[in-house]
Chain A
């Protein structure tokens, strides 16, 4: 019995939260990684792009899954002043609205323009990260930006993979949950933009 209580004793013991600090620089990478997850505007945009990739043809999917994180990474390197952060966040929200609207409208929009839309949408998160770097000048850019690109990729894949599988299994019937989810994203992005304007 005393040995069985050992895990309990270990768990109860108060330890300082220094979790995952295997290197003092890891925080810069982790900051970038989490940025896509804790910024509601980016969450809406990236989930919308994941839906778009799963709903459309292979070319669009390829552009979204590979092109968006890369373009976001490269556009982060643009010399963006910190004062542009609000503007960049509004751009992310407008992109989220357009992408979600494209998913809601589904086949009524030509597939031809969707890769362009996806790549333009990738500029928003890139500019936000660039402005963030300008504001938080203590961050190490290469670590922060590689984390940010990976975070963007994770979030895209989290939405793309299950919906692409559903589409393979169900065919166009899988468009129904995609369009419903996209309507929630569109509603959320519009409200966030209204809050920004108000």
Chain B
């Protein structure tokens, strides 16, 4: 009871000190952080990158999650500068489909080729996020938010991908890849229709 009352008191106590709330930093960061998380197509593709990297083993397990944000940045810059990128939404849907298929097939390809595949899709994701930046409450923290969320989704994918060391885990990941591919196909159909 006391705990409840204490919590209530803390919640109802006045918060007058709003120091360091410099031009909506918090709101910009939160909206940037949530941007990749609110789009299921983004989530599926990011997690798939992490899983695929883990399936490919070292050094792909970290090279792919490093490649993705770096190339994504170029896409983001194009978006910030307002440069058109035709078919960006199709590219995002396609990323979930292709990466899902690669995970489901546990397809091993050469690292440079894997980097190219991931890089092409990273451009599409980056442009979609970057185009939103100028309208954000605080563009700078919005950018940092979406980079962080993307990285954390990759980390989640890598963590799941560590199941690849177990027989049942391999099956589970391949099934997960199938689900991701189906999700990608659904979004692709929405875009093409």
Residues of A within 8 A of B (CB): 4-5, 7-8, 11-12, 14-17, 19, 34, 37-38, 40-41, 44, 104, 176, 179-181, 183-184, 186-188, 190-192, 194-195, 197-198
Contact = CB atoms under 8 A, between A and B. Distances in A.
17 contacts: A4-B2, A7-B6, A11-B9, A38-B25, A176-B61, A179-B62, A180-B65, A180-B151, A180-B155, A184-B147, A187-B72, A187-B73, A191-B80, A191-B143, A191-B147, A194-B130, A198-B82
B76 A184 contact: no
B6 A11 contact: yes
B141 to A, nearest CB: 6
Contact of A40 (B14, B70, B144): B144
Looking at chain B's contact residues, the main secondary structure is helix
Interface string B1-28: 0100110111011111101101001000
Contacts of A11: 6, 9-10, 13
A21 B69 CA distance: 43
Contacts of A195: 80, 133-134, 139-140, 143
A184 B66 CA distance: 8
A190 B17 contact: no
A198 B82 CA distance: 9
Nearest to B122: A187
Nearest to B133: A195
A37 B21 CA distance: 12
Task: Report, as a range, how many residues of chain B touch the other chain.
Answer: 35 or more
B147 A188 contact: yes
A12 B5 CA distance: 10
B77 interface: yes
A71 B25 CA distance: 28
A192 B140 contact: yes
Residue of A4, A5, A179, A190 with most chain B CB atoms under a 10 A cut-off: A190
B172 interface: no
Contacts of B5: 5, 8
Nearest to A34: B20
Contacts of A44: 144
B17 A17 contact: yes
Contacts of A41: 140
Contacts of A181: 151
B130 A191 contact: yes
